[in-house]
Amino acid sequence: MQSQKAILAGRVFTGENWLENYAVITEGELIKELLPAAELPADLPVESFPDSLLVPAFIDLQIYGAYGKLLAVYPEAASLVKLNAYCRSGGAAICMPTVATNAYDVFYKSIDAIRAYWQQGGTGIPGLHIEGPWINPIKRGAHIEAFIHSPTIAQATELLEYGKGVIKIITLAPEMVSPEIISLIQSYGIIISAGHSNAGYQQAVAGFDLGIRAVTHLFNAMSPLQHREPGLAGATMDDERVMASIIPDGYHVDYAAIRIAKKAMGERLFVITDAVTDTAEGLYPHTLQGDKYESAGILSGSALTMLKAVQNLVAFAGISREEALRMCSLYPARVMGLDQQYGKIQKGYTSSLLLLDESLALIKLL
């Protein structure tokens, strides 16, 4: 039987509300119960953090590499160890390594890397997010056009079979992929996210009608909201079935646009970092320019952590502390179907928790 302990904090954010002077009782990797501090059993070991906030750990569903090891360039378990460490330093207990448009061989090697990471006992990485190459070249952003294409059934099947159990998300342009292939991808239990797309409003809705339930980095690399053609951005904000990620670094999206999207989408808007790392090798050299990354002069990724995203949302987008926390924990958990395990502090949920101070600086990831 696993031993129990109590984590006592000044305030506990359950994912719904704040509790004052409460303790979270954990047993192994799960939360057993919440108790007022005054009701703690005398014989229970207690870790006390009286001036701290205890909140659910974060989840980052799109990050490409860390500490000089871009996964597409270094598709090996060691790169994932670094990536996981970077994510944990920013409060994310779960992260989804991502590979952008590339040769299929790079996808296969990245799949191998994740399997090797798991075999070595690695945690915190549930699978792989493949972004492209089945996207629209008109909205490629920093993606390399030579690799962009519409897939055949054979190409899709080969990748899906090789990545069975590893590929968890595929970002594609719904107007570039046949309904048959969209159905095929879904049959493997993979989440399809619409992105790098020039779909018109009706094309986007047609994709949602096929079961696409996520959209990748709202506003970036997609058909914009215009008064005569609302595009993918407008369809996303308009359609209650769809959730969308957004990058709150102040460069990818203006903070006012985040605030507008939040008012339109409410709980359907969640955060990704879209973080990359310095690299001069491979197809996507990234150079840190201030606190963002560029590739060949094009904005190519952020230098965010999830915690920095929370801080930015509160400080610059006018989003409440509670909603900012949910956008980085509960809402990405919903995208993955993990919202009965992550994103809340209540009985039966994971004991992956964060201690923050009142300024939202990280004290410790538990």
Catalytic member of 60, 239, 249, 274: 274
Calculate the average pLDDT of the chain: 96
Q: Same domain, yes or no, for 124 and 161?
A: yes
**Residue of 80, 68, 91 whose CA lies nearest to 273:** 91
**Residue of 196, 233, 218 whose CA lies nearest to 100:** 196
Sign of the torsion formed by the C-alpha atoms of 6, 8, 13 and 16: positive
Question: Residue 29 belongs to a domain with what CATH number?
Answer: 2.30.40.10
Helix, strand and coil content of the chain, in percent to the nearest 5, comes to: 30, 30, 40
Per-residue pLDDT reduced to its tens digit, 176-191: 999 999 999 999 999 9
DSSP characters over 199-234 = --HHHHHHHHHTT--EESSTTTTB----SS--HHHH
Q: Which domain holds residue 261?
A: 58-335
Residue 249 annotated in active site: no
Query: C-alpha angle with apex 79: 76 to 83, nearest 5 degrees?
Result: 140
Q: Same domain, yes or no, for 13 and 151?
A: no
Q: Same domain, yes or no, for 224 and 76?
A: yes
Q: Same domain, yes or no, for 49 and 85?
A: no
Count structural domains, the chain: 2
Per-residue pLDDT reduced to its tens digit, 25-75: 999 999 999 999 999 998 999 999 999 999 999 999 999 999 999 999 999
Are residues 356 and 52 in contact, defined by beta-carbon separation less than 8 angstroms?
Answer: yes
Q: Same domain, yes or no, for 85 and 10?
A: no
Q: Same domain, yes or no, for 49 and 68?
A: no
Check residue 298 and give its pLDDT.
85
Q: What is the pTM of this model?
A: 0.97
Check residue 177 and give its pLDDT.
98
Per-residue pLDDT reduced to its tens digit, 82-103: 999 999 999 999 999 999 999 9
Question: Residue 148 belongs to a domain with what CATH number?
Answer: 3.20.20.140
Per-residue pLDDT reduced to its tens digit, 208-252: 999 999 999 999 999 999 999 999 999 999 999 999 999 999 999
**Residue of 229, 170, 168, 167 whose CA lies nearest to 204:** 229
Is 340 inside any structural domain? Answer: no
Q: Same domain, yes or no, for 97 and 144?
A: yes
Q: Same domain, yes or no, for 11 and 112?
A: no
Q: Same domain, yes or no, for 88 and 215?
A: yes
Amino acid at 127: G
Is 294 inside any structural domain? Answer: yes
Per-residue pLDDT reduced to its tens digit, 239-293: 999 999 999 999 999 999 999 999 999 999 999 999 999 988 888 889 999 999 9
**Residue of 13, 55, 62, 53 whose CA lies nearest to 270:** 62
Q: Same domain, yes or no, for 116 and 151?
A: yes
